[in-house]
């Protein structure tokens, strides 16, 4: 007779407790990821960066992931060595990268020395941010697989939604506190706080590894140990030959290219076009993260019970077109409109991820999830590298409309019409891909429109 043992993740308190622990690590990561975005104008006035250099720095997050395929290797390591080893490695990289970024700004800020064609502070800060980006993206796919393991057959979409929501607290905090902290203390203070938070996140993840080891001792679950479940490099071929992979990956890169790179420039957009006070502009730029905090778990719960994931992804993409299209209209300058559009962007920002990430777990078996998520994140990172650099170049080349003198410091003024048209065009492509995904769902039977809880 088979003895059925209650597993640790059968306990609601245990599985949600594990989620909260790893979500704290991601919360710290999201804080560091966004903490420099509201400080663009201060970087230009205090360290003499320009928009192209800021775009280079912002895009550096994805540089190693794209050009050295670090995300691909991270996914292979995840499937080969498991979530504990990969998660610890990822958190160490985030801590090291953030420290490098902090030292570059504090020790070399404003230098005129050139390294590889860039000012030394720009280059080394970008290098640190790039190392951080490897850790953050690998941590992202690791946490996603953790949820797939701990919530298998349970509230998976809701759990993924809650994790995203908690991580967005880090983003919202970054946009809200960056400028006040920098003005009250120094430009590097917000980043120093992020470094401390990441150290705490590293300790937090170590605590989770003890829980996960206990779960593995209790029973073999779908993330597995049988020979049939072991990862092999043939899985890479299997993943990329699946039509659903390419549609999810394209939707991911297009959708997130309309959100994350836009947020990096949104604070300045609020100030220059909508005449919002600088301290408040950062808070407004962070509203999508705040919306995700409350709405992503709600939408995740709805998808768990009702389904319609493919349709929801289409709706989110359509909302992006509406938001960026109105931001591109030169004659609209009302601050209330800017705030309203940010709120709508936050709703779209909640809809698509809550539907997209659980859909991957429906398209691929558990043993291929690490590889699938890594490849999708890799393609996403191409957009996160290229779009910020493109927007920075466009701003410097075509959008400077004047200068303003404040407290003895010169602030460059930009017209954001052309950049917003670029974002709108990307959003249109995302809607088209979302439609193709819905068609593919019917053709290949991915069951994306069906509930997760059966």
**Which two tokens mark 268?**
């300045």
* Under 8 Å between Cβ of 80 and 446: no
Domain 16-444 has CATH 1.10.10.10: no
Which tens digits make up the pLDDT trace of 114-136? 888 889 999 999 999 999 999 99
Which residues are CB-contacts of 43 (< 8 A; sequence separation ≥ 6)?
36, 49, 54, 187
If you search the block for the tokens 């607290």, which residue do you land on? 169
Exposed (0-12), middle (13-18) or buried (19+): which is 442, by Cβ within 10 Å?
exposed
Q: CA nearest 261: which of 432, 54, 400, 412?
A: 54
Which one of 163-167, 169-173, 299-303 scores highest in mean pLDDT? 169-173
Residues 86-92 have a mean pLDDT of 96
Exposed (0-12), middle (13-18) or buried (19+): which is 153, by Cβ within 10 Å?
exposed
pLDDT recorded at residue 58: 95
Residues 201-212 have a mean pLDDT of 94
What share of the chain in percent tops pLDDT 90?
57
59 pLDDT band (50/70/90 cuts)? very high
Higher-confidence residue of 233 and 295: namely 295
Give CA angle at 32 (29, 35), nearest 5°.
145
pLDDT at 376 > cutoff 80: yes
Rounded to an integer, what distance in angstroms lies between the CA atom of residue 139 and that of residue 419?
Answer: 31
pLDDT at 226 > cutoff 70: no
**Which two tokens mark 195?**
């470094």
Task: State the sign of the Cα–Cα–Cα–Cα dihedral 222, 10, 28, 302.
Answer: positive
Q: CA nearest 231: which of 71, 357, 371?
A: 371
* Under 8 Å between Cβ of 251 and 433: yes
432 pLDDT band (50/70/90 cuts)? very high
Which tens digits make up the pLDDT trace of 135-165? 999 999 899 889 988 887 777 778 887 887 7
Angle of helix 278-285 relative to helix 156-184, nearest 10 degrees, comes to 170
Exposed (0-12), middle (13-18) or buried (19+): which is 340, by Cβ within 10 Å?
middle
If you search the block for the tokens 């394209």, which residue do you land on? 250
Which residues are CB-contacts of 391 (< 8 A; sequence separation ≥ 6)?
55, 261, 265, 419, 422
Higher-confidence residue of 7 and 323: namely 323
C-alpha distances (whole Å) from 359 to each of 161, 166, 269, 346 are: 13, 20, 34, 20
Q: Which of 65-74, 199-208, 261-270 has the lowest mean pLDDT?
A: 65-74
Domain coordinates in residue numbering, the chain:
16-444
């Amino acid at each position: 007779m088979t003895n059925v043992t209650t597993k640790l993740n059968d306990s609601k308190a245990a599985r949600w407790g594990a989620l909260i622990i790893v979500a704290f690590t991601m919360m710290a990561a999201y804080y560091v990821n966004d903490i420099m975005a509201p400080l663009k104008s201060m970087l230009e006035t205090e360290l003499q960066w320009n928009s192209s250099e800021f775009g280079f720095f912002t895009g550096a997050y994805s540089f190693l992931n794209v050009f050295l395929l670090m995300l691909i290797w991270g996914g292979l390591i995840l499937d080969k060595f498991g979530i504990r080893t990969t998660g610890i490695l990822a958190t160490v990289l985030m801590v090291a990268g953030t420290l490098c970024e902090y030292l570059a700004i504090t020790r070399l800020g404003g230098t005129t020395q050139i390294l590889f064609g860039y000012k030394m502070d720009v280059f080394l800060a970008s290098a640190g941010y790039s190392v951080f980006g490897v850790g953050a993206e690998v941590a992202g796919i690791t946490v996603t697989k953790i949820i797939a393991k701990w919530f298998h057959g349970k509230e998976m979409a809701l759990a993924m939604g809650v994790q995203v929501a908690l991580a967005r607290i880090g983003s919202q905090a970054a946009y809200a506190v960056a400028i006040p902290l920098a003005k009250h203390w120094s430009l590097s203070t917000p980043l120093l706080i992020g470094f401390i938070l990441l150290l705490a996140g590293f300790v937090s993840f170590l605590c989770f590894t003890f829980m996960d080891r206990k779960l593995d001792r209790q029973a073999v679950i779908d993330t597995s140990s049988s020979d049939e479940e072991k990862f092999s490099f043939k899985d890479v071929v299997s993943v990329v030959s699946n039509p659903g992979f390419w549609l999810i990956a394209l939707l991911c890169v297009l959708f997130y290219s309309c959100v994350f790179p836009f947020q990096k420039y949104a604070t300045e957009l609020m100030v220059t076009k909508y005449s919002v006070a600088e301290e408040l502009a950062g808070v407004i730029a962070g509203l999508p993260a705040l919306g995700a905090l409350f709405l992503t778990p709600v939408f995740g719960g709805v998808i768990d019970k009702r389904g319609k994931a493919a349709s929801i992804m289409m709706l989110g993409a359509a909302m992006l077109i509406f938001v960026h299209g109105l931001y591109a209209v030169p004659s609209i300058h009302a601050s209330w409109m800017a705030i309203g559009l940010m709120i709508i962007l936050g709703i779209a920002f909640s809809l698509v991820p809550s539907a997209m990430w659980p859909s991957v777990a429906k398209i691929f078996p558990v043993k291929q999830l690490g590889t699938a998520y890594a490849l999708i994140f890799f393609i996403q990172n191409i957009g996160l590298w290229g779009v910020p650099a493109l927007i920075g170049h466009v701003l410097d080349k075509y959008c400077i409309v004047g200068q303003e003198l404040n407290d003895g410091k010169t602030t460059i003024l930009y017209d954001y019409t052309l950049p917003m048209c670029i974002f709108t065009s990307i959003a249109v492509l995302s809607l088209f891909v979302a439609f193709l995904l819905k068609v593919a769902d019917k053709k290949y039977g991915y069951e994306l429109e069906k509930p997760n809880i059966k």
